[in-house]
Amino acid sequence: MKKILLAIILVIALVSIACQSTPLAAKVQVKDTRTDPEQIKNSTLLFVVESIHETGVALGYGMGTVVQYQGGLFVVTHNHWGNILEDTNIVEIRDANNRMLQPIFTSKFKSLIVYQDAGTMVLRLPDGLSDKLTPASLYRETQLKPGEAVQVAHRRQPDRDRVEILDAVVVDISLSKDTTVYTLRSLDSQYLQPGDSGGGVWHNGQLVANTWTIITESTVVDADGNVDPARETLTDRSHAAIFPEGFK
């Protein structure tokens, strides 16, 4: 009789614990780190650089993100513009919907530079643009971990004329040319392409990095191990340069 009574008490106790724990478990939620696409677009710039030659006009493309930092407004972009930033070329600054905001000479563009390293260039926001954009805040906490989700601004396919957002995940964190980079893998079979460099990488409503390079695979290698650039194919992976800690 005592054993039966003890068993009944134990069952009642377990049921009571289960009933108490169920509401608490229901309150546990996974934190949503996605950023509103409109917030990203309202902070994103498109760059088109016109380089005039005897044989015609060559175009270079890039992207940037307007940020507010220590009371100032800046543009975060990539830093592999190369020779296209010659003084007499023209930089067309456009919004996420490809509307012209302001054309400037590249000499002016370069005068706005306040910081640059291998992966990142930071410029002062040109005058007259502050009321047309919504600045982002910078993610200055600990680095993201592999497996964490991010959103990446890129040029819409196939026309490449407007900004869209793709989802990606952090695969790895490493050093490239003394610059800390995230290796990202795009989801849903979406690939970044040339012209997406400088596009913002976002996490939980803040800018964490900018697209630096796209990882390609070679389909042809000669006997000496040399890769034919024309035979390289895009992959769903890319490197994003983390915003530099040394920027003051």
Whether residues 165 and 199 fall in one domain: yes
Identify the CATH number of the domain in which residue 114 sits: 2.40.10
Q: How many CB atoms lie within 10 A of CB 92?
A: 16
Phi-psi category of residue 162: left, alpha or beta, with phi > 0 → left and psi -120 to 50 → alpha = beta
77 domain-assigned: yes
pLDDT for 182 = 97
What is the reported pLDDT for 14? 37
Shared-domain flag, residues 122 and 176: no
Residue 176: phi and psi, rounded to 5, are: -140, 120
Q: Which helix (H) or strand (E) holds 108?
A: helix 106-111
Q: Is residue 5 part of a domain?
A: no
d(CA 218, CA 162) in angstroms, rounded, equals: 29
List the one residue out of 213, 206, 139 whose CA is nearest residue 182. 213
Run means of pLDDT, 10 residues per run, the chain, 248 residues: 42 39 39 84 97 85 95 95 87 97 95 94 96 93 92 92 96 89 92 94 96 81 58 87 79
Its domain, for residue 157, covers 149-242
Rg over alpha carbons for the chain, rounded to the nearest Å, is 24
In a domain, 137, yes or no: no
Domain match, 235 and 153 both: yes
Task: Return d(Cα 237, Cα 183) in angstroms, integer.
Answer: 7
Same domain as 153, residue 201: yes
Q: Which residues are CB-contacts of 60 (< 8 A; sequence separation ≥ 6)?
A: 47, 48, 49, 51, 81, 84
> What phi-psi label fits residue 87: left (phi over 0), alpha (psi between -120 and 50 degrees) or beta?
alpha
pLDDT of residue 32: 61
Q: Which of 132, 166, 201 is the last residue of a domain?
A: 132
Secondary structure of 4-56 in HEC code, one letter for each residue: HHHHHHHHHHHHHHHHHHHHHHHHCCCCCCCCCHHHHHHHEEEEEEEEEECCE
Question: Does 27 map to a domain?
Answer: no
Same-domain status, 120 and 164: no
pTM of the model: 0.81
103, 132, 161 - which closes a domain? 132
CB of 135 within 8 A of CB of 68?
A: yes
Q: Would you say residue 188 lies in a domain?
A: yes
Nearest to 41, CA basis, from 87, 94, 117: 94
The verdict on 81 and 128 lying in the same domain is yes
- 235 shares a domain with 166: yes
Q: Is residue 153 part of a domain?
A: yes
Same domain as 97, residue 165: no
Domain count, the chain: 2
Q: Are residues 166 and 193 in the same domain?
A: yes
Give the Cα separation of 74 and 122 in Å (integer). 7
Q: Are residues 125 and 172 in the same domain?
A: no
**Same structural domain, 163 and 234:** yes
Give dist(CA 16, CA 21) in Å, integer: 9
Residue 165: inside a domain: yes
In-domain check, residue 247: no
| Structural domain ending residue among the three candidates 64, 97, 132 | 132
pLDDT at res. 74: 97
Same domain, 180 and 210: yes
